[in-house]
Every structure is written in C-alpha cells, then in structure tokens.
Amino acid sequence: MKDSISKASEIISRSDYVVAFTGAGISAESGIPTFRGEGGIWSRFDPEKAASAEGFLRNPADYWKLFKDERFPVMRSAKPNPGHEALARLENSGKLRAVITQNIDGLHQMAGSKHVIELHGSAKSAACLKCSKKYAIEKVYEQLAARDVPLCLVCGGVLKTTVVLFGEPLSQEALRESFLHASSCDAMLCIGSSLAVYPAAGIPHIAVDKGAKLIIVNAEPTPLDSAARVVLHGKAGEILPKIM
C-alpha cells in the first residue's frame, strides 16, 4: 500500500494536467447511501418508479416522496470528507483541471472544487418541465410541506430535480467537456467508481487510450484495474490525503 501511494504521488507530481473521475464510493464515505449493492437504495425502492423518466411523468408524487423522506434529509446533513477536500486542494494548486463526477450531491463544490462536471446532473436544484426555470432545492423542499408535487412559481409547471433519470440522456455538454478533458490529461484519478456504468465509464477508457496514466482508488476491483498504473483498494478519505 505504501509503495502504491508513493507511486501515485509521483505520477501526480510529474503531471501538469490531472483530471479526477468520481463515483458513489466517495459520497458513501460522507454518509450518502449508494444506489446499487447490498443495502443500496435500489434494494429498497423500485428504480422504475422512483428514478425513471417515465415513472416520474406518470407519478411525480412518488419521486418527490422518496426525495423528501429519504434523499433530501441525508443530503442536507452530509459534509465533504477528506477525499473531497484533497481534490479541492489539488485543484487550488493548479494541477487538477476538472472533477468529472457521477454524483449528484454537490459535495465536491461544498469542499471547494470549482470546476466540477456533473454527468448525472444535480439534486441541489430543480427545474420546471414547462418553462425550464431553475430553483434551489431548499426552496422546492419548502413547497413539499404543503403539496406532494412542487410547482413552478412562474407558470405552474411540474418541477423535477436536475438529476438525470433512467431513460433520459446525459447532458451532451457535460459529456463533450468530459471527453475533452479525458483526451487531454496526463493522469486521471478514478475514485469510488465501479467503472461499470456506461457511458460515464467510457471516460477513463478514453484517457487510457490517449496515453494518460490511470490511478484507481476504489473499495472493490474494477474492470479497468489491469489498465491502471496504480490501483489502491480502500477509502478515498484515507488514501487521497496521503497521496497529496
């Protein structure tokens, strides 16, 4: 472990253009429950009902109930951990150019990261399905005390978080920017992602194809471990501060 950590620090110190790619693992260390796996949200809720675009349109009240009862209270109390903070420091030092994340909880921004690409959108805001007006999630939550489905204050349209639901495409803009970083970076840090969910997992593949050095920090093995220069199995909050 010690050797791998010094190897990872060496790669980063020799790189000018580092990009981080993060997944649910880093948020889990801040108490945000993961979706997949044992005890994950999908073992208790039907993804079709609670997180598909079709399910939402059919019955937005179910989606908002899960959000109000389960997601929002957890997200509201979650704080960034030393892993998020280490990435924010690396960005401040000028080496880390972007954090590409599959997470929707805003913890990277809370830790001080400025250039964050949210591939799966954000649960920190909602938008009107009719006129696209955006609302901070706290404002939306206030409405949920009085009604099952929050509505746009301008046009009365139904509000939905800006999270990308199943059946919705990822933002083309976010993907384009991520692909650009992946093809330009010298090193990519993949943290807390199983690297198994596409198209997001295609991003580290591009980095490897373009010759970037891959450093993987994850609790479990990933399909890209064999392509990585360094693989560290463990917690991001413990490993990242040591690397930096």
Residues marked active site are found at 120
Nearer of residues 158 and 219 to Zn ion, judged by Cβ: 158
Residues 6+ positions from 196 with CB-CB distance below 8 Å: 222, 223
* Least separation in angstroms between CB 157 and Zn ion: 4
Contacts 24+ apart (CB under 8 A), 102-105: 102/22, 102/23, 102/24, 102/193, 102/197, 102/200, 103/22, 103/23, 103/24, 103/26, 103/27, 103/32, 104/161, 104/163, 105/27, 105/30, 105/32, 105/75, 105/78
Torsion of CA 119, 52, 122, 142, to 10 degrees: 180
Question: Which residues lie across from 187 on neighbouring strands?
Answer: 18, 213
Nearer of residues 1 and 146 to Zn ion, judged by Cβ: 146
Nearer of residues 65 and 133 to Zn ion, judged by Cβ: 133
* Least separation in angstroms between CB 144 and Zn ion: 17
* Least separation in angstroms between CB 105 and Zn ion: 25
User: What is the contact surface with Zn ion in residues (CB under 5 A)?
Assistant: 128, 130-131, 133, 152, 154-155, 157
Nearer of residues 78 and 158 to Zn ion, judged by Cβ: 158
H/E run at residue 161: strand 159-161
* Least separation in angstroms between CB 132 and Zn ion: 7
